[in-house]
Chains A and B, each alone.
Chain A
Amino acid sequence: MAILVKPDTKVLVQGITGSFGGRHTQLSLEYGSQIVAGVTPGKAGQRFEDQVPIFDSVQEAVKESGATASAIFVPPPFAADAILEAVDAGLELVVAITEGIPVRDMIEVKAALKGSATRLVGPNCPGIVTPGTGENSHGGCRIGISPGYIHKAGDIGVVSRSGTLTYEAVWQLTCNGLGQSTCVGIGGDPVPGSTHLDIIKLFNDDPDTRGIIMIGEIGGSAEEEAAAWIKENCKKPVAGFIAGTTAPPGRRMGHAGAIISGGKGTAEAKIEAMEDAGISVAETPSQMAEALIKIL
């Protein structure tokens, strides 16, 4: 069941002693996720909340805890280094939550990742949730900053660039009785570790995912690329939504990647490509779940 992470996936947190990282590690522990180690250089031997052992390096943390995934909460100037350290330690999955990493750093990271077995999700993303089967989806794997309780275990995959818009979609699904296999926030930066297409391929191959919601926004051409692949290869019903129909060209709408430049990356072009691929596109953000239910 699920993609990328399962309820029993062992997760370490880089930047666990920062206020942001600490707060969300606490929430993940309360959600029942397996947070097995933290990394803050210079703080080895301490424990987070008397519970999670802290190490100086990712390598040591992996060796002692058996973690296979990392959540990165370190501040932007040190985030690229943290990602590379996690990759070097051989983690299967690295999820970079940090917002505001310079693009040049991510260009280097992405180039360094070529040929590596590690999958990077993010940066500037809400993270990944594979809901658990307990009350309010307790017992799932929560990496990042999403609210756990809005989820419900099930068979719909969600992939999105935006945080709160993902929560909106997940909540609509949950309210309609549709649970999720895994929800993946790929982030709003111009150089993402994983694209919509990368995640959709995983959902397509996941026997426990029945349908997919893909949420995009203006900027770049990742949604068009995903749509073209879906048209030819996807075996599962896909619904979608694109934010930014009203965004003026040349203005960056919050996310570093959300900008229409040189006539490229418009919502119209993305919606057209998605409809052409047979994706059920929601007219308003209130109808994301509805758009999927129509074609299930």
Chain B
Amino acid sequence: MNLHEYQAKQLLAQYGVEVPGGQPCTTADEARSIAEKLFTEGHEMVVMKIQIHSGGRGKGVFKDGFKGGVHLCKTADDVHQKAMAMLGNTIVTKQTGEAGRQVNTLLVASAEKIVSEFYLAVLLDRDTSQPLIMVSSEGGVDIEEVAETNPEAIVKLQVDPLLGLQPYQARNLAKALGLTGKLIHSGAKLILGVYKTWWECDASMVEINPLCVVENPDGSQKIAAVDAKISVDGNALYRHKDIAEMRDLNEEAELEVEASKFDLNYIKLDGNVACLVNGAGLAMATMDAIKHYGGDPANFLDVGGGATKEQVSAAFQIILKDPNVKAILVNIFGGIMNCNTIAEGVVAAAEETHLSLPLVVRLEGNNVEAGRKTLAESGIALITADSMADAAKKVVSEAAA
């Protein structure tokens, strides 16, 4: 589960990580009053940032032509005006796709005087099954690009999960960033706080980009997380009620939210061949087979290992809500699951939805004969297939017809 920047910063602040002062808001009036407060505190400038789950916010363009999802403002009036322009408006960034994303929340924060920018991330190193901390002296830019063009700029540290990150290790990382003097200590404190956030919040990733040395009004310097991204392990949400409440359904595709209510794993894609499969690996492989025979999958849909008639029915309803779908492939390897249960679910769903699209069914496994008989006797117009390859070929040709 992904968090918004303001939510990530709230969590980080709880673990002692320095973040620029600010508040989220959903109306222009609120934006104005947050800005006024920051100006009263002595900040000369505030930054307004749209809160959507997408990168490239600054360079995004709103559908009405208003440019940019990140703005620097010197007056409360300007903040009010820009908030009016952005809230409720839909922005398109390099990551949102053409449909764009509606902006419902803004973060209004103090704009820091940035002296230098770095990169910091904590994630799982899958090769060693250990936490991995990555820092780079090149911040504020795409880290994947740095990894390609200047890999020496990235320093990695494996952490023993049973010991946790040690202060000396954090100091070494701070030094690796080029920090000196007192900043080594504040840098190490921040890195320790970020690691603790990652570990205790069950995060999959915490990314601070940029991590900045900023200048205080009195000329002294401190280190702060100017932008932050956190994603959390969905399987661990049961022990983080506060984080679970941060889920923003507006950021998730409507059909995917609907599917999750029925314990179905659905991901919408851009093609026109829908598929309904049991098991994640088989579902991916089915999509691949569709592509192999020249088609384009409309979705990933795993009904799970013990799908019920109700789930199959719900799965059909969800598939049919995608207007691009031209044909449907049901591919079931009923290991333990009874093929006849699936067949009955397919028949019931086809009848309930008055299915008019071509339907190709491939059933294999437990009680398959009864399942095939149920399908044959149902009177539903469907095409049966003997293998995954056969099924994929048939459904692709139906979708193209």
Contacts and interface: CB of A to CB of B under 8 A. Distances in A.
A245 B124 contact: no
Interface stretch (A7-15, A50-58, A212-220): A212-220
Given A111-B160, A147-B366, A171-B364, A165 B288 contact: no
A244 B284 contact: yes
Interface in B319-356: 333, 335-336
Contacts of B160: 111
A22 interface: no
B141 interface: no
Nearest to B362: A286
Given A108-B161, A162-B280, A251-B267, A101 B235 contact: yes
B235 A100 contact: yes
B282 A168 contact: yes
A167 B235 contact: no
A287 interface: yes
A188 interface: yes
Contact of A103 (B124, B281, B389): B124
Contact of B279 (A76, A106, A162): A162
Contacts of A160: 281
Contacts of B388: 168, 284-286
A3 to B, nearest CB: 21
A254 B265 contact: yes
Interface in B258-282: 265, 267, 269, 277-282
Interface in A265-282: 267
A246 B288 contact: yes
A93 B331 CA distance: 33
B336 A145 contact: yes
Interface stretch (A34-42, A83-91, A256-264): A256-264
B392 interface: yes
B99 interface: no
B131 A107 contact: yes
Interface centre among B199, B278, B282 (most CB of A within 10 A): B282
B22 interface: no
Interface residues of A, number: 63
A103 B335 contact: no
A51 B129 CA distance: 39
Interface string B202-238: 1010000000000000000000000000000101101
A221 B126 contact: yes
A102 B288 contact: no
Given A103-B204, A284-B389, A285-B388, A165 B126 contact: no
A267 B291 CA distance: 14
Interface stretch (B5-13, B101-109, B175-183, B297-305): B297-305
A81 interface: no
B284 A258 contact: yes
A114 B278 CA distance: 35
Contacts of B287: 246-247
Interface string A154-171: 000000111111111001
Contacts of B129: 106-107, 110-111, 191
Contacts of A247: 284, 287, 300
Given A101-B235, A103-B235, A163-B335, A254 B285 contact: no
Contacts of A257: 126
A253 B283 contact: yes
Interface residues of B, number: 53
A247 B292 CA distance: 13
Contacts of B236: 102-104
A228 interface: no
A3 B43 CA distance: 68
A5 to B, nearest CB: 19
Nearest to A149: B366
Contacts of A103: 124, 202, 204, 233, 235-236
Nearest to B290: A246
Contacts of A219: 126
B235 A246 contact: no
Interface string B155-188: 0000011100000000000000000000000000
B124 A167 contact: no
A71 to B, nearest CB: 15
Contact of A163 (B147, B162, B281): B281
B281 A162 contact: yes
Interface string B363-376: 01110000000000
Contacts of B335: 145-147, 150, 163-164, 167
Nearest to B282: A164
A102 B235 contact: yes
B283 to A, nearest CB: 6
Contact of B199 (A104, A146, A222, A243): A104
Interface string A215-257: 1011111100100000000000000010111111001011111
Nearest to A166: B281
B288 A284 contact: yes
A187 to B, nearest CB: 11
B161 A244 contact: no
B289 interface: yes
Given A108-B161, A167-B335, A245-B291, A262 B280 contact: no
14 contacts: A27-B336, A76-B235, A104-B199, A111-B160, A146-B335, A163-B335, A219-B126, A243-B285, A254-B280, A255-B281, A283-B292, A285-B286, A286-B390, A287-B389
The 6 closest A-B pairs by CB, nearest first: A162-B281, A254-B280, A164-B279, A165-B281, A102-B236, A147-B335
Given A104-B236, A108-B161, 11 more contacts: A101-B235, A150-B335, A164-B277, A243-B281, A244-B284, A254-B281, A254-B283, A254-B300, A257-B126, A284-B389, A285-B289
Interface of B: 124, 126-127, 129-131, 144, 147, 160-162, 199, 202, 204, 233, 235-236, 238-239, 265, 267, 269, 277-292, 297, 300, 302, 305, 333, 335-336, 364-366, 387-390, 392
